Amino acid sequence: MHAWEKQGMENVFPGFSDFASLDEIGPIVLSHGEGIYVVDVDGKRYLDANSGLWNNVAGFNHQGIIDALCAQAQRFPGYHSFFGRVADVTVELSQRLIALSPFEDGKVYYTNSGSEANDTMVKMLWMINRAKGEPGRRKIITRQNAYHGVTVATSSMTAKPYNAEFGLPLPGFLHADCPHFWRNGLPGESEDAFTARMARNLEDLIEREGPETIAGMFAEPVQGAGGVIPPSKGYFQAIRPILRKYGIPLIADEVICGFGRLGAMWGSDVYGIEPDAIIASKCITAGYYPMGAVILGKGLSDALMEASDRFGEFPHGFTASGSPLGSAVALKALDVIENEGLIDNVRALTPHFQERLQRFNDRPHAGETRGIGFMGAIEIVADKVTKTPFDSKIGISERIANKAIQNGLICRPLGASVVLAPPFIMTRAEMDEMFDLLEKTFDAVFAEIRA
């Protein structure tokens, strides 16, 4: 093992890492990036098919974003947003985000991550309801297989089995059905009937818990870390009237989908979600600076201002919220995405991306290929007819991801799925390289399994 890898094993505690794989093959210690590729300390290049962690959409060495970061560092690198003091670039970014949002008016609250933004939104809802004389409205609805973060509150919102290791979820965090038709549809059930059932079950949950106890519902347009799960047809149109009927705000978690991943500025636009607030992060700075944002529509913004006026302030914040450095980077990243052809490239190459993805349907162990825009997943099964997964001891998706690394491709294992979410700057030739490497990887892995 190289000295860098050895030191990494000894001194770095990695998150969401398979320790058995690390013990066997060691970590990858990276030194720099070149476009859509990252390079390790030994000089080996890897095509990063996951944009880092969904976020490095402009590649790893975009000179314009780097220049914007450096220029702001020279002028005014760091400050807070407490006590009514805020950097000029943060004001400019807030105006830009409201203009890009589905809201005609509203306000933006800054955090350092999507987890913090979702956590902050929960506290905002709780404060609003106390001020309205409804302190019992505290329960939060999310969905099975959702991912909303890793703080204590957002881990409780994240309906993944691993959170049981922390003794979570906390009481009051409710998990509705996952609208994954392929996996959760009943025998003979049409997709329309499935969507109607999802809506009925949600209303049953609300009535069972008591509408007067529910503060809000959070939903990703496409469930990203759940394995790239688009909603069933008409899902948001079915649940939106139910939430309005009971006065429950709908918060769109756009941490992954926002700023172009689906070929539109927001996943909410693609699916007609009509949210009351948007949670943003990741692509907001193209991965060049940690930042998250709560974008409040006018209704929630006014309600939070009224609640804060009653108390005298909004008693919540982070030291680096609305950092001038982060704000300058975000302004440039949004300009690059919107005006330098990145979102246009996603739209132009989406048909080819999805066509290459669908080719995996011909393989015996590809149970479902699914995706939209520049995100896709292949769910691996032992039996396509019964949709039976491989024994978890095989670790099939981890095995595929590890073999891909050997082939110079970084893809992500998520449950029984292999996920792709490439940078927005990817060319057609690079896209073909990515899929060719993944096909080569599948051939090798399943040849080993058959043997």
Predicted pLDDT of residue 11 = 83
- What residue has token string 């990276």? 30
Predicted pLDDT of residue 192 = 98
Please state whether 426 falls in left (phi above 0), alpha (psi between -120 and 50) or beta: beta
The DSSP code for 144 is B
Q: Which residues pair with 30 in a beta bridge?
A: 40
Predicted pLDDT of residue 334 = 98
Predicted pLDDT of residue 371 = 97
Predicted pLDDT of residue 69 = 98
Predicted pLDDT of residue 8 = 78
Structure tokens that stand for 62 in this block: 């975009």
- What residue has token string 């330098």? 340
Predicted pLDDT of residue 1 = 61
Sheet with 45-48, strands from edge to edge, namely: 30-34, 37-40, 45-48, 409-410
Asked if 370 and 409 touch (Cβ cutoff 8 Å), the reply is: no
Determine the Cα–Cα distance for residues 136 and 146; give it in Å rounded to an integer: 24
Predicted pLDDT of residue 450 = 83
Q: Rounded to whole angstroms, what are the CA distances from 193 to 197, 256, 275, 354?
A: 6, 28, 24, 26
The DSSP code for 165 is G
What's the CA angle centered on 113, arms 111 and 117, to 5 degrees?
A: 55
Asked if 157 and 146 touch (Cβ cutoff 8 Å), the reply is: yes
Can you give the pLDDT of all 451 residues of the chain as single tens digits? 678 787 878 788 888 878 777 777 778 899 999 999 999 999 999 999 999 999 999 999 999 999 999 999 999 999 999 999 999 999 999 999 999 999 999 999 999 999 999 999 999 999 999 999 999 999 999 999 999 999 999 999 999 999 999 999 999 999 999 999 999 999 999 999 999 999 999 999 999 999 999 999 999 999 999 999 999 999 999 999 999 999 999 999 999 999 999 999 999 999 999 999 999 999 999 999 999 999 999 999 999 999 999 998 999 999 999 999 999 999 999 999 999 999 999 999 999 999 999 999 999 999 999 999 999 999 999 999 999 999 888 889 999 999 999 999 999 999 999 999 999 999 999 999 999 999 999 999 999 988 7
Domains of the chain, first to last: 3-62+341-450 (3.90.1150.10), 66-339 (3.40.640.10)
Please state whether 312 falls in left (phi above 0), alpha (psi between -120 and 50) or beta: left
Predicted pLDDT of residue 392 = 85
Using a 10 angstrom Cβ sphere, with 0-12 exposed, 13-18 middle and 19 or more buried, the burial of residue 405 is middle
Contacts of 107 (CB under 8 A, 6+ apart): 94, 98, 296, 301, 304, 305
pTM over 0.85: yes
Predicted pLDDT of residue 13 = 81
